[in-house]
Amino acid sequence: MWIKAGGSVRHSLLRQIVLDLGGQPLLLSGHYGKVKTNKCLRVGVAMGRRTLERVVTKQTLNRVRSAYMPFSWSINPYRGCSHGCSYCYARATHTYLGMDADDTFQSHILVKENAAAALDRQLAEMVRKGGERALRGLGLVTVGTATDPYQPAEAKMKITRGCLEVLAKYGVPFTLTTRSPLILRDLDVLVRARVRAIHMSINTLDPVLWRRLEPESPSPLKRLEAVATLVGQGIRAGIFLAPILPGLTDSDEVMASVLRAAKKHDAQFAVASMLRLAPDVKQWYMRTIQAHYPELVPLYEELYRRTNPPAAFAAKTLARAHAWIRRMGIPFYREAAEKDGMRSSLAADQSDEPGGYGSEGIGEGGEKTTESVQLQLHF
């Protein structure tokens, strides 16, 4: 259903109106610029507390212009993520659309319904202008830098699957980051694509802590089982021990338990990264800490006066994480990259930030976006 929108075109969220049509709550909103260009308002049906809004994008492949990033392009089939991880750095990206970084990030999901078609057009145009050489010089693409490409909506929408099919068609190398075993649905595509690595994020096996911090993410054990299945199919997969949360997941006991389980499930590499709290994210995350772990509030107020914790604290914590990675016999990401001849694209640059990679860049639609990824390569 489309409704014509009058007025001037602006590169931002124009307006948001909640209506009740026949008892069915509907959300009307307009996005312009490169996110939506047809001067129409798309009607998205609100399912419970979640609204899936279909949007049209001009481009799916977005250039990452940062020396700190070990990849050249990013793909995010969705904006927002219903997993609802309280510490997710990508919450801040919703503010660039005129929304909030609070519960809106997990309850109002933008679905780029034409993402695969737009990606195909982009790559076809590159080939037309520069031939196959243009694709060879494209560099590494990372799927899922600002949203989980396998969040619940993907089960039905299959937007991510469509994008992976296009990447496979053109032979473009890519990595993918997720918290979901739903990725196993697309094994038929992955086994014929140029997958450099699948990163499965997991930072605890504690069922209570997991559910408090990640309201709707899949079970950590299911994620580990997915890693084992991917590796069994010849696909390089490992874990992001991330983010490491002070006072919650930074103990030797917790890190050792996660890494021991990762080793048991054949993880091909492990990456450790500290929690980063940008202002918009910090406000939401601290509400979770106050509600469930009020005794930790002073610790976080002391450590996170800025986005990253003090360098000395981060270095000490990461050193312990790295020691456990070595003790479990799991290769570091750098070692895995070098083994596959991937050093130039994955491990050439190192971050000066103690918590891992992170930078402000230009993302989809030209809006400012935080292209932060939880990679820690300077061991």
Residue 251: count of CB within 10 angstroms of its CB: 12
Q: Please, what's the b/e burial string for 189-216 (b: 16 or more CB within 10 A of its CB; e: otherwise)? A: bbeebebbbbbbbbbbbbeebbebbbee
DSSP letter at 281? H
Nearest to 241 by CA among 227, 229, 233: 227
What's residue 103's pLDDT?
A: 67
* Spans in the chain with pLDDT lower than 50: 1-48, 94, 101, 338, 341-379
Residue 266 falls in which region: left (phi positive, over 0), alpha (psi -120 to 50) or beta:
left
Residue 28, CB-side half-sphere exposure with 13 Å CA sphere: 15
What's residue 278's pLDDT?
A: 87
Using one digit for the tens of pLDDT, what is the confidence trace for 33-67? 333 333 223 333 334 467 888 999 999 999 887 66
Nearest to 209 by CA among 241, 247, 174: 247
CA 149 from centre of chain? 7
